[in-house]
Amino acid sequence: MTQKITLEEAAALLWQEADLLDHREYDAWLNLWSDDGIYVVPIEKGVEDFANRLNYAYDDGEMRRMRVARLKSSYSMSAIAAADTIRTVSRFVVTGERSNEIDIRAAQILVEYRRDKTRPIAANVDVTVRRTENGLKLVKKVIWLAHSEEAVSGVGYLL
C-alpha cells in the first residue's frame, strides 16, 4: 500500500466521519479507525506526550469501543438527553506525508443543541490518515479545543 493519499481523499474521509458522528452512526464511525488508532482530546494546549498527560479523552481501539457502547446504551449519563450536533470540518492543510499516510490539520466547528440551548465548540484538529487494504483509516485524531476549560462540560457525544 504505497499509493500516496491525496488531500481530497483525506478531506472526504473527515467529512464522512463528521456526518457519521452527527447522525450517531457510531458503529460505522468505529470502522473508520485503524486498530492502532488514537483519539485524543487534550486538556492542555501544545502538549505532545498524550499518554503521560491528563486528557478529556485518550482512547485506543478498546476505549473507543467502550465509549461507543456507553453512548449507545440508555444507562449512561452521556446517552441521557443526548445533544443533536452539526459539525463542519474545513481549512484542510497537509502537515506531513509518508508513503501510505498523510497528516492533516483542519478546523472544526461543532454546534450542539440540547435542552433548548445552542452551544458552539470550535477546535483545530490534527488527523493522521493511513491507506490500508481496507481503504483509508484514521490513525490519530487530536481535537485541540479553542476553550478547553469550558467546552467539554457535559458533553455526551464524540468531538
Which residue is it, cell 454546534?
111
Q: Pick the closest to residue 107 from 135, 82, 88, 133 (CA basis).
A: 88
Q: Would you say residue 58 has pLDDT above 80? A: yes
- The pTM (predicted TM-score) of the whole model is 0.89
Q: Which domain holds residue 29?
A: 7-148
Task: Give the span between the Cα atoms of 25 and 142, in whole angstroms.
Answer: 20
What pLDDT was estimated at residue 150? 58
What pLDDT was estimated at residue 153? 56
What pLDDT was estimated at residue 83? 81
What pLDDT was estimated at residue 73? 79
What pLDDT was estimated at residue 139? 98
Is 122 inside any structural domain? yes
Give the least confident one: 16-25, 67-76, 116-125: 67-76
Is 159 inside any structural domain? no
Number of domains comprising the chain: 1
Is 1 inside any structural domain? no
Is 156 inside any structural domain? no
Q: Is the dihedral of CA 2, 108, 61, 59 positive or negative?
A: positive
8 A C-beta contact, residue 84 and residue 74: no
pLDDT band at 159 (very low <50, low <70, confident <90, very high): confident
Where does residue 155 rank: exposed (0-12), middle (13-18), buried (19+ CB within 10 A)?
Answer: buried
Over residues 102-124, the mean pLDDT reads 92
What pLDDT was estimated at residue 158? 74
Is 2 inside any structural domain? no
> The domain that contains 117 carries what CATH number?
3.10.450.50
Helix (H, G, I), strand (E, B) or coil at 149: helix
Task: Give the span between the Cα atoms of 61 and 67, in whole angstroms.
Answer: 10
Q: Would you say residue 130 has pLDDT above 80? A: yes
C-alpha dist (Å) from residue 39 to 2, 65, 99, 112: 24, 11, 22, 20
Is 17 inside any structural domain? yes
